[in-house]
Structure 1
Amino acid sequence: MSNPTTSAPPPGGTNTHPGVHVGAATAETLEDYTLRFAPRHYRRWTPGVVATSALGGIAYLADFSIGANIGIAHGTVNALLGIAVAAVVIFVTGFPLAYYAARYNLDLDLITRGSGFGYHGSVVTNVIFATFTFIFFALEGSIMAQGLELGLGVPLWLGYAASTIIIFPLVVYGMKVLSTLQVWTTPLWLVLMVIPFAYLVISHPESVSQFTSYAGQDGTGGTVSIAAVMLAAGVCLSLIAQIAEQIDYLRFMPPRTPENSRRWWTAVVLAGPGWVVFGALKQAIGLFLAVYLIASLDPDAAATANEPVHQFLGIYEEMMPGWLALVLAVVLVVISQIKINVTNAYSGSLAWTNSYTRITKHYPGRLVFVGVNLLIALTLMEANMFDFLNGILGFYANCGIAWICTVATDIVVNKYLLKLSPMVPEFRRGMLYPVNPVGFVSLLLSAGLSILVFFGAFGDGIQPYSPMVAVVLAVVCPPVLAVATRGRYYLRRDDDGIAAPMFDEHGNPSGEVFTCHVCRQDYERPDVAACATHDDVVCSLCLSTDKVADHVLPARG
């Protein structure tokens, strides 16, 4: 049953079937393929442009704060070991997710659905991801507000509002605008960030020995403490969900062919799990700058040494006139905040919209949830989240680890080793069970027990190890549950009713075009399924918004 076409249908088709919300919703999702597969005809960027755009999204200064905070608390040695532990976990778990996103052109929510969670089961992971985006939006917005207060005398409350409002018009459009913004601002950002570090290493070589010997505020961090390392790693692991934001760019990778295979893999590795290499370096540099300020300029500087604007301003002032130092510090902060927070706002809006649409079967428009995400972030900023940053990040890390490690384990172990999970990620309604216990229960156990450990429910001795508890449970539970259920809850049915092949000769998603008989728009093969009540095809969005399940295929017999 298929209906291929090469002609363009009327734009913004009308709804001729009850219970299905189309028209304006369909048109908006086609701007950046919200909720759906990113088709071949849209993915015209080179691997290098996609990778640069994705890495532009990690321009955030939160890494400098995180590195400074854990170093001031636990000393340089323990902080660096914690950073390294977190980086290894993030890279290993991020690799299979990045590969699946780039290979099959899906965001992490769509991958999660078919990797152990089910059609509705992944709603909880969307909430986890949306939480990540507004926490880090608020953190970056707070840093920008600090810069505006220092440079222009803008009150913090007004700076919080300004750092929020400025982002909204930039995320009205999707990948087209974001890729341009990231590519053009990255060179200036790199120069402004690297200069202070290079200056200290060259002009003040003693800063290196000060850094390596720094024992923290209480002086107990001069020796290795496993508990301190784990506490530091837990804070850094709060960034594990950053791979989902990288994937929001990587899903637009071009098809992998023999001609571009090397460039394709390089882009996927660098912009996928490779982001953590750059992130770890920024955390170490943040601590390096903070230690220099504390040791060389002002022993009381620890009060603001964890704030990137003060870190960079302090070093710039040694290099140039005060007015120029202030200008450059503020410019760096503003560019960084804009580069990351357009991604936070964009990705957060996708996560909220995905969840809302599946629960209500109504698509309200992505911009509604841009506003929701920004409002939550602004509330966090006004509550002065910097005062309890480590606590927020340490708690959140347990949730992020549980999600990412569960999906990564399902891909690596359940798909490739046990062969119990379908190799090709499925995301369409009707093809998946509402909830798959393999991923859903694993997430609840991993996140729930590690959070209890984090809050001391099992004693102080194990409390610092809550991130490792989350990792271990998220690795062990999915294969155990997959074997116990024999993998029967992954697919509600095996056949989507369309005879045309899903992939081309190189294993890339097919570019064959079909017309949805509901919204009258063209979609490529992976984004459609046969209609249950008509001899025709229906797109994934119309399936998602079908309130009476008129078009949803029945379960297999």
Structure 2
Amino acid sequence: MSTTESPQITTDTTDTTDTTKPAADRAAKGTQETLEDYTLRFAPRSYRRWTPMVVATTALGGIAYMADFSIGAGIGLAHGTGNALVAIAVAAVVIFLTGFPLAYYGARYNLDLDLITRGSGFGYFGSVVTSVIFASFTFIFFALEGAIMAQGLKLGLGLPLWLGYAVSTLMVIPLVIYGMKALSTLQVWTTPIWLLLMVGPLVYLIANDPGTVDRFLAYPGTTGDGAVNTASVMLGAGVCLSLIAQIGEQIDYLRFMPPKTEANKRAWWTAVVMAGPGWVVLGALKQAIGVFLAVYIIAEVGPAAAPEPIQQFRSAFDAMMPSWLVVPLAVALVVISQIKINVTNAYSGSLAWTNSFTRITRHYPGRMVFVLVNLAFALILMEADMFSFLGSILGFYSNCAIAWVVTVATDIGINKYLLKLSPLQPEFRRGMLHAVNPVGVVAFTAASGLSIAMYFHLLGDTLQPYSPVAAAVIAFVLTPLMAVVTKGRYYLRRTDDGIAEPLLDTDGNPSAVTLDCHVCGQSYERPDVTACVTHAAVVCSLCLSTDKVGDHVLPAAV
């Protein structure tokens, strides 16, 4: 029970105490942009006007990225086709299973992955580290995709790589500024063109020369005899599993799903599965195609250039059309693909950085600041030629990403639904959560720490290939174990937010009832507000986040 009774709901915004006015000033800067992007908060029903299929198409539009071709090619050339295909399949199964509960929670409760993580074992401040991990995912992959675009611009227009890096970085800024509205239009209109340019050459090659399939399946790789072995599969799967954090970018779109009702439940579930965990089906297919194309062109361009998507598709187009069309079409495919994914990388990265910064400093500087920060990090990586050591970066990063995603997925699937030690409805608001929840923090720290030690051979050479397996297994085991040990005491600081109006409607969707925040004067839907005991009023989650003196934060329950 709460230590205080629920205050009377009020829409009065005339409070002028010294503690409220500065908080209003700090929140005002974020109000207009937050109403556009909902950077730090629940996405309200009034904004979520898209159909399930439009949301799904927008989310899947980002999966156009070309890095999958390069990742698959790198694994296949090193370990052989057999090991590569098994590694890709293993990683895809893990990514699908862990992504499903996260995608469901994002779509059902209209929260991004950071907000879900807070209430799924990490706590209000405990999830800051995972936000930084996700932000790093976005700029690492922005750099990778930008490098691929620069290779295309060099081949097609003769631009030097350093200039191509700058062009690929700067061109996404105008699109990212306008958030979901601009991104949904971009993804819907460019996806058919992208599919035609990607699938057409592949179908032609197989139909025109069926022997390419046999050569592809027989390719042995450079590090062995081509026989499938566990170590090679695990090394390859570890690289593929670096993409496990992609579910965070999918959820950045899925949080805008409309409410699930009897009338739309089939379309709703189809969209959630397709655009949530289902992204990995397309991703795995592209990785396998990357192996196929690399084997097809390796004799022509050599092993160093074979993993480059621009070279793969240049050769594929060259086999089916006049030479004067080859380079323009290959460049068009690469540019369209990279724009589609890098607007998502820049957008999602800005959300993650803003979430972390606002919680730590209790100051909201505006999302665009972190769009520029994220792009600056990516540009530095590109200029440092990260493409040449891609496998090492992704292999290391995957350990942290796996530990985080498996911890959150396990908390949802086991701690919430089976053990019932974690609250079923995700909580994200300041004052309702403990600062740190040892359940997720301990599981994540142990899983990522031990797997990284294995990756760097600190536990011996034999165990090194199994670091991603260790990250997943340790997180999966420790998350419910810590919940049992702590008896679930550290999930909620209090269970009553001081407002009598229910959080959910009769269909189980977040309530659309609006209440006025007495600090910033804006109206917000029920899940985004709590009571403010100090002023006997209501306060929104962003004003809570920027409250430097804690005047509006509810006291802990006894």
1:55-454 aligned at under 5 Å gives the runs 55-218=60-223, 220-295=224-299, 298=300, 300-454=301-455
Answer yes or no: is the 8 Å Cα contact 1:4–1:512 preserved in 2: no
Q: Quick one: distance in 2 between partners of 1:342 and 1:2?
A: 44
Tell me what 1:3 maps to.
9
Q: Quick one: distance in 1 between partners of 2:547 and 2:125?
A: 15
> Offset at 1:106?
0.2
> Offset at 1:24?
2.1
Distance 1:479 1:166, change over 3 A: same
Aligned amino acid, residue 348 of structure 1: G
Q: Quick one: distance in 2 between partners of 1:507 and 1:202?
A: 51
> Offset at 1:27?
1.4
Q: Which moved more, 1:19-28 or 1:520-529?
A: 19-28
Cα RMSD (Å) of the superposition? 1.4
Q: TM-score, normalised by structure 2?
A: 0.97
Deviations 1:350-378 (A, max 9, x none): 00000000000000000001001000000
Distance 1:4 1:388, change over 3 A: same
For the pair 1:48 / 2:53, whether they are aligned, the reply is: yes
For the pair 1:499 / 2:504, whether they are aligned, the reply is: no
Q: Which moved more, 1:172-181 or 1:522-531?
A: 172-181
Tell me what 1:464 maps to.
465
* Secondary structure at the counterpart of residue 534 of structure 2: coil
Aligned amino acid, residue 24 of structure 1: K
> Offset at 1:236?
0.1
Gaps of 5+ in 2: 1-6
Gaps of 5+ in 1: none
Aligned amino acid, residue 396 of structure 2: F
Q: Quick one: distance in 2 between partners of 1:15 and 1:497?
A: 20
Deviations 1:414-454 (A, max 9, x none): 00010000000000000000000000111110000000000
Deviations 1:366-396 (A, max 9, x none): 0001001000000000011111100000000
* Secondary structure at the counterpart of residue 319 of structure 1: coil
Distance 1:268 1:221, change over 3 A: farther
* Secondary structure at the counterpart of residue 502 of structure 2: coil
Aligned amino acid, residue 273 of structure 2: V
Aligned amino acid, residue 212 of structure 2: S
Q: Quick one: distance in 2 between partners of 1:472 and 1:2?
A: 48
Q: Quick one: distance in 2 between partners of 1:250 and 1:114?
A: 18
Q: Quick one: distance in 2 between partners of 1:162 and 1:2?
A: 55
Answer yes or no: is the 8 Å Cα contact 1:68–1:283 preserved in 2: yes
- TM superposition outliers: structure 1 runs of 4+ over 6 Å: none
> Offset at 1:323?
2.0
Answer yes or no: is the 8 Å Cα contact 1:15–1:518 preserved in 2: no
Q: Quick one: distance in 1 between partners of 2:516 and 2:178?
A: 25
Distance 1:517 1:334, change over 3 A: same
Deviations 1:247-272 (A, max 9, x none): 00000000000110000000000000
Aligned amino acid, residue 475 of structure 1: F
* Secondary structure at the counterpart of residue 537 of structure 1: strand
> Offset at 1:187?
0.4
Q: Quick one: distance in 1 between partners of 2:332 and 2:516?
A: 48
Aligned amino acid, residue 510 of structure 1: S
* Secondary structure at the counterpart of residue 530 of structure 1: strand
Aligned amino acid, residue 119 of structure 1: Y
> Offset at 1:70?
0.4
> Offset at 1:191?
0.4
> Offset at 1:301?
2.2
* Secondary structure at the counterpart of residue 417 of structure 1: coil
> Offset at 1:170?
1.0
Q: Quick one: distance in 2 between partners of 1:25 and 1:404?
A: 29
Answer yes or no: is the 8 Å Cα contact 1:518–1:542 preserved in 2: yes
Tell me what 2:530 maps to.
529
> Offset at 1:332?
0.5
> Offset at 1:195?
0.9
Answer yes or no: is the 8 Å Cα contact 2:23–2:519 preserved in 1: no
Q: Quick one: distance in 2 between partners of 1:19 and 1:249?
A: 30
Answer yes or no: is the 8 Å Cα contact 2:29–2:364 preserved in 1: no
Deviations 1:445-497 (A, max 9, x none): 00000000000011111100000000001100111111111100000000000
Answer yes or no: is the 8 Å Cα contact 1:517–1:538 preserved in 2: yes
Aligned amino acid, residue 207 of structure 1: T
> Matched residues, percent identical?
70
Q: Quick one: distance in 2 between partners of 1:195 and 1:445?
A: 46
Aligned amino acid, residue 513 of structure 1: T
Distance 1:520 1:176, change over 3 A: same
Aligned amino acid, residue 335 of structure 2: V
Q: TM-score, normalised by structure 1?
A: 0.97
Tell me what 2:514 maps to.
513
> Offset at 1:22?
1.6
